Amino acid sequence: MTDPTQGPRETADLAAHRLTLLGTAHVSEASANEVTAMIRSGEFDAVAIELCASRHQSLVQPNAMAKMDLFQVLKQGKAGMVAASLALGAFQQRVAEQSGVEPGAEMRAAVKGAERAGVPLYLIDREIGVTLKRIYQNVPWYKRAGLISGLLGSVLSRQKVSSEEIEKLKEGDVLESTFAEFAEQSQSLYEPLIAERDRYMALKLVETLPDGGAQRVLVVVGAGHLKGMTGHLRELEAAPISPDSARQARETLETTKPRSRGWKALPWVIVALVLTGFAIGFSRDAGFGWSLVAEWVLINGTLSALGAAVALAHPLTVLAAFVAAPLTSLNPTIGVGFVTAGAELYLRRPTVGDFSKLRSDVGHWRGWWRNRVARTLLVFLLSTLGSAVATWVAGLRIAGQLFG
């Protein structure tokens, strides 16, 4: 008779390695206890878990955010990715507060259990940043705005997480369940969220497990990955591949599509059209030309400054947005968000406390405006959004006056 308290299990063989796959619930003390008990049994000489390096670091070093170089995050264009990760964390924080169990408790138990047992710990999941990028690219362009607004809505929402959503966390994958909170078109998310990661983790095991040693491996994954991973592992058992081949196949699941030449050229095309519009205006009449320039400045400056103001930026940062946006909109090599975020960092430098409390603060919508790190990210994103909208609005108005 099956023990109802046990999570689902599967077994597979890879060369000399016997793998026991344990499907866990991401919001369950029972799963965490089961993982601890299995490692303590001494039956396994290695543990593999559904975590990437960055998620593992946030699990074992919750204060790692205090070492983040926010200026480099902005310079490298990672502000949106960091904000998205924090938004996902905000949802998980709401789940923890409602259920009394932190999502990922079973992974924490696996990390601690492997350390106590003195056995190797293997991180086999794909980096969350790569997964988020592939999700974004897999969603049709006309649905991406809904995905982004859903992320923002999850931050601002004060509603309790439904019991159905908590059950999904108990049955499946933590990232899938998090996105399901605000993404209606889950079918377009399934491939990068689940199917790709099933194959990725199977290939990572082939690549990572050493020859000799670690003959009995406990693989701790969310129950939503159990069927897919087992299928891939049995295919690899039937048709073995070398670690090098596994690495090459895995790396194809880490690639992201480069922006097309058309998208890269679009900002320059817009600049050329706007400047051409100014030139046509001045050729007709100097006063008319200056009125077009004034309209461009007012629309760009106002909407970007409004975005910064909504983020509760410093008054001088709001002024910087108004001044910089009309210029940066005509220079695709620098965005207004970089200017406004830089000004905000200079005027309101985040403290060590802001970094250390970042993850807990963003669990509540007010924390995004109270915490200086999170607020700087909001300043960057909202002033950029305001400028982007303004560029199209002002451009269309100029075209209307020239050719209407």
Task: Report yes or no on 317 lying in a domain.
Answer: yes
Domain boundary (252, 278, 307) is at 252
- 215 shares a domain with 275: no
Number of domains into which the chain is organized: 2
- Calpha distance 270→342 (Å, rounded): 26
pLDDT reported for residue 75: 72
Task: Report yes or no on 3 lying in a domain.
Answer: no
Q: What percent of the chain has pLDDT over 90?
A: 42
For 349, counting Cβ atoms within 10 Å of its Cβ (0-12 exposed, 13-18 middle, 19+ buried), the class is exposed
pLDDT reported for residue 153: 60
Residues 146, 150, 156, 162: what is their CA dihedral angle, to the nearest 10 degrees?
A: 140
100-104, 217-221, 285-289, 332-336 — which is least confidently predicted? Answer: 100-104
Task: Report yes or no on 180 lying in a domain.
Answer: yes
Q: Measured on CA atoms in the order 264, 269, 275, 278, is the torsion positive or negative?
A: negative
- 150 shares a domain with 192: yes
Tokens for 104?
């990922």
Q: Measured on CA atoms in the order 242, 245, 250, 254, is the torsion positive or negative?
A: positive
**Confidence band of 187 (pLDDT split at 50, 70, 90):** low
**Confidence band of 123 (pLDDT split at 50, 70, 90):** very high
The residue with tokens 């796959």 is 21
For 249, counting Cβ atoms within 10 Å of its Cβ (0-12 exposed, 13-18 middle, 19+ buried), the class is middle
> Edge-to-edge, what's the strand order for the sheet holding 17-24?
9-14, 17-24, 216-222, 46-49, 121-123
Tokens for 25?
């619930």
Tokens for 329?
């909109």
Please choose, from the candidates 364, 337, 49, 12, the residue with its C-alpha nearest in 3D space to the C-alpha of residue 201: 49
Task: Report yes or no on 2 lying in a domain.
Answer: no
121 phi, psi to nearest 5 deg: -120, 125
Domain boundary (252, 271, 292) is at 252
148-152, 221-225, 227-231 — which is least confidently predicted? Answer: 148-152
Instruction: Tell me the mean pLDDT in the region 343-370.
Output: 81
CB of 194 closer than 8 Å to CB of 176:
yes
- 322 shares a domain with 279: yes
pLDDT reported for residue 66: 59
What are 300-329's pLDDT values in tens digits?
999 999 999 999 999 999 999 999 999 999
CB of 74 closer than 8 Å to CB of 341:
yes
Higher pLDDT, 354 or 176: 354
pLDDT reported for residue 174: 55
CA distances from 281 to 68, 77, 274 (A): 48, 36, 11
CB count, 10 Å around CB of 327? 14
Angle at 72 between CA 133 and CA 343, to 5 degrees: 115
**CA of residue 119 relative to chain centroid, distance:** 31
Task: Report yes or no on 1 lying in a domain.
Answer: no
Instruction: Tell me the mean pLDDT in the region 383-399.
Output: 92
**Confidence band of 111 (pLDDT split at 50, 70, 90):** very high
Instruction: Tell me the mean pLDDT in the region 183-189.
Output: 59
Beta partners for 126?
none
- 198 shares a domain with 276: no
**Confidence band of 183 (pLDDT split at 50, 70, 90):** very low
Beta partners for 175?
none
Checking if the pLDDT of 173 tops 60, the result is no
Tokens for 36?
């601890």
Please choose, from the candidates 10, 3, 2, the residue with its C-alpha nearest in 3D space to the C-alpha of residue 226: 10
**Confidence band of 184 (pLDDT split at 50, 70, 90):** very low
Instruction: Tell me the mean pLDDT in the region 388-402.
Output: 91
For 149, counting Cβ atoms within 10 Å of its Cβ (0-12 exposed, 13-18 middle, 19+ buried), the class is exposed
Please give the radius of gyration of the chain, using alpha carbons only, rounded to the nearest integer: 25
Determine the structural domain holding residue 88 and report its residue range.
9-252
- 105 shares a domain with 221: yes
Task: Report yes or no on 321 lying in a domain.
Answer: yes
End-to-end CA distance of the chain, in Å? 79
pLDDT reported for residue 88: 67
Task: Report yes or no on 4 lying in a domain.
Answer: no
Average pLDDT, the chain: 82
- 193 shares a domain with 129: yes
Domain boundary (232, 252, 272) is at 252
Task: Report yes or no on 174 lying in a domain.
Answer: yes
- Calpha distance 97→78 (Å, rounded): 29
- 353 shares a domain with 273: yes
Tokens for 180?
């399901």
- 302 shares a domain with 246: no
Strands 9-14 and 17-24: antiparallel
Highest mean pLDDT among 87-91, 172-176, 250-254, 258-262: 250-254
31-35, 56-60, 200-204 — which is least confidently predicted? Answer: 56-60
- 300 shares a domain with 168: no
- 364 shares a domain with 246: no
- 146 shares a domain with 219: yes
Strands 46-49 and 216-222: parallel
Determine the 3-state secondary structure of 221 from DSSP. strand
- 149 shares a domain with 99: yes
What are 40-76's pLDDT values in tens digits?
999 999 999 999 988 888 778 766 665 666 777 777 7
CB count, 10 Å around CB of 43? 11
pLDDT reported for residue 2: 42
Longest distance between any two alpha carbons in the chain, whole Å: 89
What are 143-163's pLDDT values in tens digits?
666 666 666 665 555 556 555
**Confidence band of 182 (pLDDT split at 50, 70, 90):** very low
